[in-house]
Structure 1
Amino acid sequence: MFTSYLRIAWRNLWKQKVFAAVNVAGMSIAICAALLLSLTAYKEWSYDDFQQKRDHIYQLYREDHRTNGTHISKSFSEPMAGVLRKEVPGVKHVTRIGGDNLFVRYKDKSIYLDVQMTDPDYLQMFSFPLQKGNAHTALDRLDQLVLTQGAAASLFSQDDPIGKTVEINIGDQWKPFVVSAVADNIPDNSSISFEALIRFENVEDYAAIRNDWHTSSYPVMLEVAPAVSMATLRKDLVPVAHKYMGDLIKDLTGMGGTPDEDGEFLRIRTIPLKDLHLSPYSVFGTGLNPFYPWMMLMLACLITGIACVNFINLSIARSFTRGSEIGLRKALGAMDRQLMLQFWSEAFLLCFISLLLSLLLATLLLPYYNATFKHDLSFRLFQNGWLILGTAATFFGITLLAGGYPAWKIARVNIIQVLKGKLNLSGSGGVRNGLIVFQFMVAALLISCTVIIWQQLNFIRATPLGYNTTQVISIPVGNAPQQALTAIRNRLASEPSVESITASTLNLGIGKDGSSGNWTLGFDYKGNHVNTQAMVVDYDYAKTLGLTLLAGRDFSRQYGADTTGVVINEQMAKQLGEKDPLNIVYNANGNDYHVIGVVKDYHFESLRKKIEPLMLSISASARKSYLFVKVNTNHPAATMDRISAIWKEIDPLTKSDPSFLDENTDRLYRQEARFSKIFMSGAVLAILISCMGLFAIAVLVMAQRRKEVGIRKVLGASVSSIVMLLSKDFLKLVLIAVLAATPVSWYLMQRWLNGFALHVEIQWWMFAGVCGLAVLIALATTSLQAVKAALANPVESLKVD
């Protein structure tokens, strides 16, 4: 029987090609968009789902409740790992994690590998299966090395790596390591990744930090027994904080910090491994907003909902032309459920065709989608049976939503009315109008959000940061050997476009190596606790970056004592509380420093934050991970290519390219830029699908009012008055939609803007512009049919029954 319904449905749809085409086009585009957006959300939520102990592994972070708010620290001192093992009930394994891209060589082959320095517990905590070796003994000795399959293939080709000795450059010293195990390649949905593992004791500064409770440099992760809940673990960490961080708690109390709801000034918090990817406090996160996958899913639902609205409106409107068919079926004894099944089968057939077209469209658009939104999606995700089941359930849900209501509405019409030729779907006009309002409300909401995000991004790019971004190139040198750094400095010094060169432990913005960070230092000065961001730099730092010196001087090679000198910013000077901070001396981290200069505040971090206190110091022993090169050129692209070529010539294995600082600062807001693209794309799709439906509805409405138009023309109505009469009902609906969307978009965007220390103000004209745009789009969509109806010959119009 259902096959018969499908055949009849196909014939009916073939007779109504225009409406079928509008529905199929709208649904295909919507399902394609929803499919890509849903895959994005699923990919983000699938991170670390292969980890067998993901519910029992946590990363620790620290909350300091200060006077000016809560400060987050993601690192702990080195002795903390041993304390957690011994003093926290239920802890099974603990690991510290350090490392970087390090230079690795075997015989005549040299490559950079992502070397992670961990404790022996690492391979017992995480589900990284070993192809060769034993997880319990692979990191027993300090000279043991674990490689991934890909790293082993790069170093040894087809040879068996077990037992082979390789060398790793750590702190400009080559250290031998013996390969003890080979792990599977890391899945692409893993928050934690590595190419090689060695023991944590191999970190460059281990001798200095091994018993130091005042230096926090590395993240800590732990695994607890299944019986230990996260709430219990957090409670058990409180006495650890009191016992080993008492000095810091005392400082926070003395500074007038605001305790949390339990009266604690310092808290050790936890992040479950399953939440690591999207947590803002994770050291392994991407910086992606936790709301991002939900936003993808909501946008998918909204776009699909708009297409379903079109389907419902067109199905109900098209039923006015099928009165004879419905009446005949009812007169011959057709039951309501049979009529419902007939009309629903038409909806199913349309949706199924749309699904096939959307799969083809998604396959074609996937590479472009990945490139535009910086994703790495593939249809391999459908290897998960639950995802296929969810997609199928969603598809049937869409067919029920889009076809169910029209089928129910049409099947329940009064047979007497139908046989009299008066098909009256009472209330259908109100439903139709409400659905049109919903469509344009979604479109107006997305357009408003896009406009405000775009304005904020332009504001960020135009805001002076206090340093030179357009003429300074950042070169990520990572852990390159010292001789390579000396060589690049000498080569660049001879380039005519290069004005000055400096270096720093930290980058400005986010370079092409993808890294960013900060280092917080706390100390007491005259009874007050001072917290500051600290950065180790090289000579000519202020000169190269164009910082404004307000007092004192910059670092100079003419002063040998500058190794104990510091240059501070205005915020740091305020924290010290001295009218004239020059030449004052303070002790921080066991070292005495004296202030030699004060620079004007500059935004060394994102504009999401207020400018914090900053201390710049000089240290010959500290490794500088970034070079900054100030250039004077009229051909920045050619200059960049030249500097990149020089660096690759000196270090051909480098993985990261140089970039201008304005590119780096743009990367700080790539999430906002991504949101802007997504909202814009969603708005375009919403408007496109809404206009398709509005156009088809306009065709039907004009056809139904054809006789009315003829009478009005005979009575002397002008073309313009008729066009306005036919269009104004639609324009009213659009205006209502925009007015309804305005407070919602204002609330959402105001909350988003509050995440920036500096942001634009939402202006009334933004929403007025959106309103005008929506009205123009609706008018352009409906006016063509309105003009056509107004210009029709009234004689022909009056012949309509």
Structure 2
Amino acid sequence: MIKNYIKIAWRNLVKDKLNTGLNVIGLSVAFAVAILLGMAAMYQLSFDGFHENGDAIYKIVKTQQTPKGPLAGTVHPAPFAPSLATEVPGVKRITRYLQNGAIAIQGDREIDMNIVWVDKDFFSIFSFPIISGDQNAPIGDLSSVVLTEKAAKNLFGSVDVIGRTFNLLINGNEKPFTVSAIAKNNVPETNLEFEMAIRFESHQDYLKHKEQWDSQYHDVYVELQEGVSSVSFEKSSESFMDLHYEKAIGMLKRDGASADINGRYMNIELVPLVDVHFASFKNGFVEVSRSLPYLILGIAFLILFIACVNYINMSIAKSAKRLKEIGMRKTLGAHKKQLFFQFWSESLFVFLVSICIGVLLSFAFVNEFKTTFNTNLNSDLLLKPSFLIGLLGIVILITIFVGGYPALLMSRLGTIQSLKGKLESTGSNNVRDVLMVFQFGIAILLITGTLVLWGQIDYMRNKDLGYDKEQVVSFPLNGKRNSNDAVELLRAELKGNPDIISISGADNNLGLGIDGSRSSSKIGFEFEGRAVTTNFLVVDHEFVHTLGIDLVLGRNFESASDSLVVVINESMAKELGVEDVLSAQLEIEDGVYFPVLGVVKDYNFNDLDRAIEPITFLISREWGITYAYAKVSPNNMANSFETLEKTWKKLEPNAEFLGSFLDENIDRTFNREKTTAKMISSGSVLAIILSCMGLFAMSLLIVSQRTKEIGIRKVVGASVGSITYILTKDFLKLVLVAFLIASPIAWWLMREWLQNYAYRIDLSVWFFVAAGTIAVLIAILTIGTRTIKAARANPVKSLRTE
């Protein structure tokens, strides 16, 4: 019996090559896209999920109530971690974590290393496998370091380097370190990336800040003891915070901060390690959002849904051609159960072939997918048992329900009805219409999302940020020379070159450079009896001029000797709240006052999802700068860029030149948005294509059901246009209903998404009109080809069986 089902199913599929081909192509592409999107989502959701003790590991966040509202931050003072471990019960292990690069020197090799400065328990807390060297205490000594395999090969040319020494350039001085262990290379799905791990106590700022509770500059991770919950630990830490932050809490009360619902002003909050990748602190709270991976999964399921709807509709359309076959089988004694399994076996064939092709396609295009969508998903995920089991489960469910519905519908047809060759207009038509509304509703939703996302991205690309981003090149000062000296040498070497207008430097980059490093500094101080917080930027005296930032009050720095004055922005001037801001003096260092020299116009030094904040510029050779900025002539930018690279190589022959224009840096800051937009755009295109296949199937069904009607209308004088209108109006009504349903949903979703940006586009009605128009035009083009052909057919052929 089963053999007979398979044989007949195969014959029927081969006989109707067009329908079978469309089904297999649509489902195969949908499966392939769903697999790739599922892999991308699983990659995102797997961040730092590989650590053995991950359930007990947390990142410590400090939350406080300020006069302007709640504030959350991840940085802590140097004595925080050791004090917490000894004073609050429940700590199993704890580590400070500071990511800060330095130049590693080995022979003639000079490499800018990504270094993490951590405590000795770091490798006991986190599962970064040690493949050689000291397994128990890889950084037990202050002069010991752990290198990854890649870093060892870059520095020494080999991984067999246990016991070998090299120097790190720290504050202009070379300090020797010894390799004590080699760690396996970091997996992509971790936020704790490093090439080299060194003891926190060896950092150049440690001794200066060892006992200072008001200097916060590093993260802290804690592993709790078994049986200790994060909630109980947070409660236990309240007295610890009250003791060590008594002065800070008193200042918050004095400045008018309101206590939280528990009557507290400062707390610690534990963020689970697996949530760290998704945590943000923009609104003063710890907010964990997995919206991006869930959005990716949602698009994958929507694509699969549309493909499955197509299969159902095309199967129903095909059933009109098989009515006599069904009637004959029933006349010869076939039962409903037998007919069901006969038709369901055809679906099983199609789904099995489609999933096999889909898996092959996903393997074939995984590299292109990674490049296009800028993701590091691992193709090995396809071979993981959990992924394969989940994939198999989805295929089984789709086969049962999607393949089962048309089979059930056809097996329930009456014998007389089937022999007459008429498919009754039953509730299946309602199901068909609902499915079509869902199809086009999804397509309109995705099209609207695409238009809004690209509109926001275009707005961010073209917004006036308050400085010159087109003509300025930035690059890290990653050589051996003192960074201030390097900028002065660059300025001297390029003086008089018509392609280079000016040279400057700062201790942070604008946007995201090629080196991928980002940082920011904030400082708090007392001003006229209240606490003031400002972003803090160490600059060269040419910074404001090089960036083209407008000066609105006072004057700019004139030379490196202006090291005891500051320049602030308009937001900082408002924060100070004095009538004559140029008379203000800021106590940035204890007992040292810095007069305000000038005020610059507000400019966007943060990403556009954040409003402009107060910022203060200071010249300091002690604190140093880390990035150079060069303003180039607009006449020959390519030549100017090449000149900069050659000059840098002349000054630092062993350092890599990682220069890029600021507009490129800004563009990199919204890579997340661009990736999301690309995924939704691709989903929209695919949704439209699959929906058109469904529409085409429906037009086949309607035309086959109304062939006689078309013939009669033509005989009595109906025009091609009127017949085409009659055949298409029902479809267009469904598209209109889909538009009316999808538009409010799209408006709500896009409005919520745009709230994440301090600077955003207006949610114009034209986005929705454009999406609906695109959907209608595509529907007309898809249906029109088939309906016009039917309307133009010879009525004699339509009526010849009467």
Fold match by TM threshold 0.5: yes
Answer whether contact 1:120 1:136 (CA < 8 A) is retained: no
Structure 1 position 373, deviation (Å)? 0.7
For residues 245 and 47 of structure 1, the distance between their equivalents in structure 2, rounded to whole angstroms, comes to: 33
Q: Report SS of the residue matched to 1:640.
A: helix
Match of 2:454 in 1: 454
- Given residue 182 of structure 1, which amino acid in structure 2 is its aligned partner? I
Aligned residue number for residue 671 of structure 1: 672
1:516 equivalent to 2:518? Answer yes
* Structure 1 Cα separation of the partners of residues 668 and 701 of structure 2: 50
C-alpha separation in 2, matches of 1:105 and 1:518 = 27
**More moved, 491-500 vs 710-719:** 491-500
Closer, same or farther: CA 639–609 of 1 in aligned 2, 3 Å: same
Distance 1:656 1:781, change over 3 A: farther
| Kept in 1: contact 2:241–2:267 (CA 8 A) | yes
Against the structure 1 CA distance between its residues 145 and 322, is the aligned structure 2 distance closer, same or farther, given a 3 Å change threshold?
same
Q: Deviations over 1:95-151 (max 9, x none)?
A: 112243322223344333222211111111111222223344322221112222232
Tell me whether 324-333 or 575-584 shows the greater mean CA deviation: 324-333
The aligned counterpart of 1:277 is 277
Give the Cα separation in 1 of the matches to 2:264 and 2:2: 67
Q: Which runs of 5+ in 1 are unaligned?
A: none
How far apart, CA to CA, are the structure 1 residues paired with 2:657 and 2:277? 23
- Indicate conservation of the 8 Å contact 2:649/2:657, yes or no: no
What is the CA distance between 1:491 and its match in structure 2?
Answer: 3.1
Is the Cα contact below 8 Å between 1:413 and 1:425 reproduced in 2? no
Percent identity among equivalent residues? 39
Structure 1 residue aligned with 2:238: 238
C-alpha displacement of 1:425 = 5.9
Give the Cα–Cα distance (whole angstroms) in 2 for the partners of residues 157 and 513 of structure 1.
22
Structure 1 residue 446 displacement after superposition: 0.4
Shift of 1:192: 1.2
Q: Is the Cα–Cα contact under 8 Å of residues 101 and 478 in structure 1 kept in the other structure?
A: no
Secondary structure in 1 matching 2:612: coil
Distance 2:517 2:686 in 1: 35
How has the CA–CA distance of structure 1 residues 544 and 485 changed in structure 2, closer, same or farther, with 3 Å as cutoff? closer
Q: Is the 8 A contact 2:505 2:539 kept in 1?
A: yes
1:62 match: 62
Tell me what 1:708 maps to.
709
**CA 1:190–1:734: 2 relative to 1, 3 Å:** same
1:429 is displaced (CA, Å) by: 1.1
2: CA distance between counterparts of 1:493 and 1:344?
A: 80
Cross-structure match for 1:780? 781
Q: Deviations over 1:187-230 (max 9, x none)?
A: 23222122211111221222221111111111111111121111
**Taking structure 1 as reference, are residues 140 and 341 closer, same or farther at Cα in structure 2, changes over 3 Å only?**
same
Which residue is 1:496 aligned to?
498
For 1:175 and 1:566, the matched residues in 2 are separated by 33
Matching residue's letter, 2:32: C
2:13 maps to which residue? 13
Which residue identity is paired with 2:103? F
Conservation of the 8 A alpha-carbon contact between 2:505 and 2:540: yes
2:113 partner amino acid: L
Q: Which moved more, 1:733-742 or 1:1-10?
A: 1-10
What is aligned with 1:545?
547
Counterparts of 1:108 and 1:762, CA distance in 2: 57
**What secondary structure sits across from 2:432 in the alignment?**
helix
CA distance in 2, matches of 1:652, 1:446: 50
Contact 2:490 2:503 in 1 (8 A): no
Post-superposition offset of 1:167:
1.1
| SS of aligned partner of 1:218 | strand
Question: Which deviations, in whole Å up to 9, do the C-alpha atoms of 1:530-549 show, x marking residues without a partner?
Answer: 11111111111111111111
Tell me the CA shift for residue 647 of structure 1.
Answer: 2.8
How far apart, CA to CA, are the structure 2 residues paired with 1:661 and 1:554? 22
Distance in 1 (CA, whole Å) between partners of 2:146 and 2:488 is 32
Aligned twin of 1:530: 532
The one-character-per-residue Cα deviations of 1:559-594 (angstroms, maximum 9, x if unpaired) are: x4x322111111111111101110321313424221
Greater CA drift, 78-87 or 123-132: 123-132
Residues 288 and 373 (structure 1 numbering): CA distance in 2 closer, same or farther, change over 3 Å? Answer: farther
- What does residue 45 of structure 1 align with? 45
Indicate which of 554, 557, 578 corresponds to 1:555: 557
State the Cα distance separating 1:449 from its structure 2 match: 0.9
Task: For residue 468 of structure 1, report the CA deviation from its aligned partner.
Answer: 0.9
Distance 1:23 1:652, change over 3 A: farther
Match of 1:111 in 2: 111
Corresponding position of 1:696: 697
Task: Tell which deviates more after alignment, 134-143 or 15-24.
Answer: 134-143
Corresponding residue for residue 375 of structure 1: 375
Gap change, CA 1:4 and 1:276, over 3 Å in 2: farther
Q: How far apart, in 1, do the equivalents of 2:490 and 2:122 lie?
A: 37
Match for residue 758 of structure 1? 759
Aligned residue for 1:406, secondary structure, equals: helix
| SS class of match (2:104) | strand
1:187 aligns with 2:158: no
Query: In 2, Cα distance between the equivalents of 1:72 and 1:494?
Result: 48
Maintained 8 Å contact 2:275/2:288? no
1:240-270: CA deviations, max 9, x gaps?
Answer: 2211122222222233334333232223222
For residue 626 of structure 1, what is the amino acid of its counterpart?
Y
1:159 & 1:470 partners in 2: Cα distance? 43
Q: 1:653 to 1:21 in 2, by over 3 A?
A: farther
> How far 1:511 sits from its partner (Å)?
1.2
Is the 2:163–2:179 Cα contact (8 Å) retained in structure 1?
yes
Which residue of structure 1 lines up, in the alignment, with residue 361 of structure 2? 361
State the 1:182 CA deviation.
1.8
Check conservation: 1:723, 1:783, Cα contact below 8 A.
yes
Residue aligning to 1:593: 594
Query: How far off is 1:727 after superposition?
Result: 0.9
Letter in structure 1 aligned against 2:471: Q
One-letter amino acid of the structure 2 residue matched with residue 192 of structure 1: L
Q: Is 2:317–2:697's contact at 8 Å kept on the other side of the alignment? A: no
* TM-score, scaled to structure 2: 0.95
**Distance in 1 of aligned mates of 2:526 and 2:221:** 30
Match of 2:392 in 1: 392
In structure 2, distance between residues paired with 1:404 and 1:493: 78
Measured against aligned partners, the alpha-carbon deviations of 1:635-663 in whole angstroms (never above 9, x if no partner) come to 32332233234334544554562111111
Shift in CA distance, 707/75, structure 1 to aligned 2, threshold 3 Å? same
Deviation by residue 1:493-541 (Cα, 9 ceiling, x = unmatched): 3532111111111111111122222212112211222111111111111
1:315-335 per-position Cα deviation (integer Å, ceiling 9, x unaligned) = 122112111222222233333
Q: CA deviation at 1:738?
A: 0.9
Return the letter of the residue paired with 1:310.
Answer: N
Q: 1:488 to 1:236 in 2, by over 3 A?
A: farther
In structure 2, the CA distance between the partners of 1:478 and 1:247, relative to structure 1 (3 Å rule), is farther
Residue 170 of structure 1 and its aligned partner are, at CA, apart by: 1.3
Greater alpha carbon shift after TM alignment, 311-320 vs 482-491: 482-491
Give the Å deviation of 1:454.
1.4
- Counterparts of 1:679-690 in structure 2, within 5 Å, are 679-690=680-691
Query: What does residue range 214-233 of structure 1 map to in structure 2 within 5 Å?
Result: 214-233=214-233
Residue 582 of structure 1 aligns with which residue? 582
Give CA deviations for 1:609-631 in whole Å, capped at 9, x if unaligned: 11111111110111311111111
Q: Does the Cα contact within 8 Å between 1:512 and 1:656 map onto a contact in 2?
A: no
Deviation for aligned residue 1:774: 1.0
Determine if the alignment matches structure 1 residue 737 to structure 2 residue 738.
yes
Instruction: Tell me the CA shift for residue 480 of structure 1.
Output: 4.6
Q: Which amino acid aligns with 1:154?
A: N
Letter in 2 for 1:756: Y
Rounded Cα–Cα distance in structure 1 between residues aligned with 2:359 and 2:720: 45
Q: How many residues align?
A: 795
Amino acid at match of 2:699: A
CA distance in 2, matches of 1:243, 1:488: 50
In the other structure, the counterpart of 1:33 is 33
Contact 1:214 1:589 in 2 (8 A): no
Distance in 2 (CA, whole Å) between partners of 1:552 and 1:76 is: 36
User: Does the Cα contact within 8 Å between 1:500 and 1:630 map onto a contact in 2?
Assistant: yes
Corresponding residue for residue 722 of structure 1: 723
Aligned partners of 1:419 and 1:797: how far apart in 2? 19
Counterpart residue identity of residue 629, structure 1: A
Q: Which residue of 2 aligns with 1:145?
A: 145
Retained in 2: the 8 A contact 1:112–1:653? no
Once the two structures are superposed, the pairs formed by residues 604-683 of structure 1 within 5 Å of their partners are 604-654=605-655, 657-683=658-684
